[in-house]
Structure 1
Amino acid sequence: MTKIEIKLSKDGSHTLYVPALNEHYHSVNGAVNEAMHVFIQAGLKHVQTNQVNILEFGFGTGLNAFLSAVNSGEMEVHYCTLEKYPLDMETIKQLNYGALFDGQFKALFKKIHQVPWGRENALDSRFFLTKQQCDFTKYKPENKYHIIYFDAFAPDIQPKLWSSAVFQKAYNALLPGGVLTTYCAKGIVRRTMQDVGFKVERMPGPPGKREMLRAIKI
C-alpha cells in the first residue's frame, strides 16, 4: 500500500502527501481555499440552473463533493465522482473537513464516505452522490453534465490523465455551454483542451498560484 501522510495546509484544513510521488492532494497554501476557488466559485457558482449534473475526475479525499453539498443551496445536484484508488477509512477518519463546519454539515463529510460505491445515494433531498471506482481513461459517461471538476494529480505525475483522449471524453460528456474547471494552468494542458474544441479561459488562481483554467464547451 502506498504510504500517505496527513498534512495541515495554511488555511487550517488537511491535505494528504504521497512521498513516493512527492505530491500533495491539495495546495499546501490551503486545501479548502483552493477547492472553493477552483471548483465551487469557478464551477458550481458559475452555472445558473436549478438542477446541475457534476462529474468529478478524482474523488480523492471527498473534499470537492463535500464543499459542493455545503454550497449547493436550493439547487438539485447529481454528483458523479470517479476514483481508481479510494482512500482507506482510517485515513478518512483523520481528516478535519467535517470539524470545520457546524450543524448539519459536521456529519456530512462522514456520510459522503460511508455511502456505498457503484450506485446513486441521496445525501439529502437535493444532493445525490454516485461514487465510481474506475480508471478515467476507461469511463464511459452515461449522462450529460453541466460541470466537470478535473482534479487529477498534476500532469508531471500522471500525464496520461491529461491527454487529448481524456479531454475529448470530458468534452463529449458536457452539455453545450458546460464548463470544466481545474487548478492546472500549464500551457500544454490549455492547448490540449483547445485542440479538442474547448474555449479555454485563464483565470486568477487560488492563494499561492497565479492562474487556473476554465474550459467551456462551445
Structure 2
Amino acid sequence: MENRELGIRTTGDGSITFYSDQFDQHYHSIFGARTESERVFIELGYNYIMEHFNDPIQLLEVGFGTGLNAWLTGLAAEKSQRQTEYIGLEAYPIPKAHFDQFPTEIQVYQELAWGEQHTIHPYYSVIKQNVKVQDFLSDRKFHLVYYDAFSPEAQPEMWSEELFQRIADMLEAGGVLSTYCSKGMVQRNLKAVGFEVEKHPGPPHKREVLRAIKK
C-alpha cells in the first residue's frame, strides 16, 4: 500500500506533524508533537535505559514516521555522551516530495539512505529499514523499543499479543517498550507476553502513557 497525500500541521508547541489520509491519523499529537515525543520516548524510555544498561544502547523504533524521535534521540545521546545505535522501521515512508516541509534538522533524517548505517555524531548511529516489523529480522537484542505505530483503530494488527511477543523476543531482560497508547487492550496484550506495565502521566491532553518492562 502506498502513502496517500499528507498534510502538514503546526502543533501546540510550535513543532510540526503530518496527517496521513491513508490511515486517517496524525503522526504526532496536535497538542505538541515534540512535547509528546520527549515525554513518551526520551523521558520514559531513553533516560530510563541510560540508568539501567551500559553502552552501546541498542534502540529499535517501530514507526520511524517523520524522524522526530530519531532526531530527539540523537540530541539526547550527544548531551549525555552515551553511545547509541538506533534502528528505525518504517513500512510506509513519507514521499520525498514532502521532505522540504520538514525543519532542516529533521529533514536530514528523512534523506538518509535506507538500509545503510549512518554516523550522525560520535555517539549516535542510525539505520533506517523500509520494512514491516512483522518481517524484520535482527541478530541483536535491544534495550529499548519506541513503539510509535498508528493507533489500534487505524492499525489493529500492530497492537496484537502476537506482535508484542515478537517485540519481547527482541528485547534484553529488563528492556523497555515505551508507547503513547494506554488502551486496556494494549495493556492486557503486553502483560500476556510477560511485560510489567507501568502507567505514567502523559503529555498535555494525554492522561496516561505506558512504559512496559520485560521481566
Same fold (TM over 0.5): yes
Shift, 1:119, TM fit = 2.0
Q: Equivalent residue for 2:59?
A: 54
Structure 1: how far apart are the matches of 2:136 and 2:55? 27
Paired residue type of 2:147: F
Structure 2: how far apart are the matches of 1:41 and 1:176? 20
SS of residue in 1 equivalent to 2:5: coil
Q: Equivalent residue for 1:30?
A: 32
Structure 2: how far apart are the matches of 1:82 and 1:20? 18
Structure 1: how far apart are the matches of 2:108 and 2:182? 33
Q: Equivalent residue for 2:204?
A: 207
Deviates more, 1:22-31 or 1:133-142: 133-142
Give yes or no for contact 1:17–1:23 (8 Å, CA) kept in 2.
Answer: yes
Note closer, same or farther for the CA distance 1:19–1:115 as it changes in structure 2 (3 Å cut). Answer: closer
Q: Equivalent residue for 2:13?
A: 11
Give yes or no for contact 1:111–1:123 (8 Å, CA) kept in 2.
Answer: no
Structure 1: how far apart are the matches of 2:11 and 2:143? 30
**Is 1:40 aligned to residue 42 of structure 2?**
yes
Give yes or no for contact 1:50–1:74 (8 Å, CA) kept in 2.
Answer: no
Paired residue type of 2:96: M
Shift, 1:9, TM fit = 0.5
SS of residue in 1 equivalent to 2:121: coil
Shift, 1:78, TM fit = 0.3
Identity, % of aligned positions = 38
Structure 1: how far apart are the matches of 2:138 and 2:214? 16
> Gaps (5+ residues) in structure 2?
none
Structure 2: how far apart are the matches of 1:216 and 1:166? 16
Give yes or no for contact 2:24–2:154 (8 Å, CA) kept in 1.
Answer: no
Structure 1: how far apart are the matches of 2:139 and 2:62? 15
Across the two proteins, how many residue pairs are aligned to each other?
208
SS of residue in 2 equivalent to 1:81: strand
CA RMSD of aligned residues (A): 1.2
Structure 1: how far apart are the matches of 2:109 and 2:7? 21
The TM-score, its normalising length taken from structure 1, stands at 0.91
Structure 1: how far apart are the matches of 2:122 and 2:135? 31
> Gaps (5+ residues) in structure 1?
99-105
Shift, 1:113, TM fit = 2.3
Deviates more, 1:181-190 or 1:113-122: 113-122
